[in-house]
Amino acid sequence: MSGMWGNKLKVSIFGESHGVGIGITIDGLPPGVEINMEEVMKEMARRAPGKSNLSTARKEADQPEILSGFFEGKTTGTPLCAVIRNADMHSRDYGKLKDLMRPGHADYPGFIRYNGFNDYRGGGHFSGRITAPLVFAGAICKQVLQARGINIGAHVKSIGNIEDKSFYDVKVDKELLDNLKLKELPLLAPEKEDEMRTLILEAKKEQDSTGGTIECTILGIKAGIGNPFFDSVESTLAHLMFSVPAVKGIEFGKGFEMTKLRGSECNDEYYYDNGEVKTYTNNNGGITGGITNGMPILFKVGIKPTASISKIQRTIDISEQKEAELVIEGRHDPCIVQRAVPVIEAVTAIGILDLLIS
């Protein structure tokens, strides 16, 4: 099972949703970097479940226990390893799922890939629970990047067919990004919050779920970062985005909208601003030729509706090799978009730091 990623900054994740714990090892962090653990815990709290009726009732403290690579408040330069103990597991809810394959989940392909030896409880290693250590690693990477003047932030761009404003529509600065981090539903247009909450709770009442999109930006990154083709900024970030469960799409800048435009409408024309090169527009999302051009990086990801729903669904029983019906029990999110926001920010930070380390 592939649990490793990275070139100069390497991360390795481990654990299962209902196992003893989950965790991560980060190799390649520069030595002597001071880490504010209070800020790290704020990031962990943004992702943690059980805070409102918009998320699962499962309660986890998500308290990382650092085992190595961190001494007297600073990184040592050796691999930094942390474990997060699991606490609030209801494994009995998953007893019958040993043989009944949940639609929309990795149960069937995981069973085939690992010859039936995979831990199916709560999704095992395929679970969104494993994003907790990614947020821990991303929180550390964010602090390293902030020391270099680089800030990362995201917001809920849409829930179902309800749209928030875009970063294109507002003045984006560090203050705005910091304020978004304080909200359960981080929106640029707060007046949309009640409408989105109603949609999520309606889906929950109907024993269903809903999805949406997340828009992310990176401020302060200089031109000339990245490579063409295989190690482009886009391919690096896309690789990490698709490592987050439920992400099914990504577009940079204006993305698919550009397919409807002409080159004269898409090209970002250059100008000098007190000797600094900028572009009048940012249709390419701060990246051209796979390399940063000095404008803010901007991209959007699509999050599918939560696969675990309580409606009756058709499936198969692999032990008896026959068709069956399934009602998924347990505690599940009617929408995971809002909890995925810090995860998207975290893997973005991991990817950008990997590109920056010399």
- What is the arithmetic mean of pLDDT over 104-119? 88
Asked whether residue 331 is marked as a ligand-binding residue, the answer is yes
Residue 73 has pLDDT above 80, yes or no: yes
Domain total for the chain? 1
Asked whether residue 47 is marked as a ligand-binding residue, the answer is yes
pLDDT per residue as tens digits for the range 153-173: 999 999 999 999 999 999 999
- What is the arithmetic mean of pLDDT over 196-213? 96
- Domain extent at residue 165: 4-356
Asked whether residue 126 is marked as a ligand-binding residue, the answer is yes
Asked whether residue 127 is marked as a ligand-binding residue, the answer is yes
Q: Which of 3-7, 68-72, 84-88, 180-184 has the lowest mean pLDDT?
A: 84-88
pLDDT at 120: 83
Asked whether residue 281 is marked as a ligand-binding residue, the answer is no
Asked whether residue 125 is marked as a ligand-binding residue, the answer is yes
pLDDT at 126: 79
Asked whether residue 166 is marked as a ligand-binding residue, the answer is no
Compute the distance between CA of residue 137 and CA of residue 132 in angstroms, rounded to an integer: 9
Asked whether residue 42 is marked as a ligand-binding residue, the answer is no
Return mean pLDDT, the chain: 92
Compute the distance between CA of residue 332 and CA of residue 186 in angstroms, rounded to an integer: 21
Residue 3 has pLDDT above 90, yes or no: no
Answer for the pair 292, 324: CB distance below 8 angstroms, yes or no.
no
Strand pairing category for 247-252 and 297-303 = antiparallel
DSSP string for residues in 38-61: HHHHHHHHHH-S-SSTTS-S----
Q: Which of 179-193, 228-242, 245-259, 326-340 has the lowest mean pLDDT?
A: 326-340
DSSP string for residues in 74-132: EE-SSPEEEEEE-----GGGGGGGGTBPPTTSSHHHHHHHTTT-S--GGGGGGSGGGHH
Asked whether residue 90 is marked as a ligand-binding residue, the answer is no
* pTM over cut 0.85: yes
- Locate 334 and state its tokens: 């009617």
Q: What type of residue sits at position 225? A: I
pLDDT per residue as tens digits for the range 29-68: 999 999 999 999 999 999 987 666 776 655 667 899 999 9
CATH number of the domain where residue 318 is located? 3.60.150.10
3-state secondary structure of 317: strand
pLDDT per residue as tens digits for the range 8-23: 999 999 988 888 899 9
Compute the distance between CA of residue 88 and CA of residue 60 in angstroms, rounded to an integer: 6
pLDDT at 19: 83
